[in-house]
Amino acid sequence: MMKELIILIFVTIMHHSVDGLANDAQSNADACFIRECRITFFGRISHYPLCGSDQKPYIHHFSFDCAQRCAKEYGLELTVAHEGYCRGKPPGMVYWANILKF
């Protein structure tokens, strides 16, 4: 039986300028690809405290669509189990997710 590996995906928001862009929807779509995506095997980053449960990975991002695009770039597939806010983290939505494939 194949064990399901759990990966922790951090999607950190990088600041950028959207001056001169007339279409907000387009600027938001472009912003997805400016984000920095780090994929780390669960448990390897001991200095970064997990939110809520140490048994579930989470994606911290303002937009699930952007987080999903990031995952797809690495050949991952996500399912959202819960969404909510994390105490002690920068403002933004936190998505609990299961990794379905590599």
pLDDT in tens, 26-53: 444 444 443 444 443 333 332 333 344 4
- Work out the percent of the chain whose per-residue pLDDT is above 70: 0
Q: How far apart are CA 99 and CA 81, in angstroms?
A: 11
In a domain, 1, yes or no: no
* pLDDT for the residue 67: 64
In a domain, 85, yes or no: yes
Q: Which helix (H) or strand (E) holds 26?
A: helix 24-32
Number of domains, the chain = 1
In a domain, 71, yes or no: yes
Average pLDDT along the chain: 46
In a domain, 21, yes or no: yes
In a domain, 43, yes or no: yes
In a domain, 2, yes or no: no
For the ranges 11-25, 63-77, 85-99, the lowest mean pLDDT is seen at: 11-25
Token couple for 100: 């379905």
Residue corresponding to tokens 């669509």: 65
In a domain, 53, yes or no: yes
Alpha helices (H) in 52-94, listed in sequence order: 64-73
Residue 68 has pLDDT above 60, yes or no: yes
* pLDDT for the residue 3: 44
Taking a C-beta distance cutoff of 8 angstroms, is the pair 27, 34 a contact? no
Q: Which domain holds residue 54?
A: 7-99
Global model pTM greater than 0.75: no
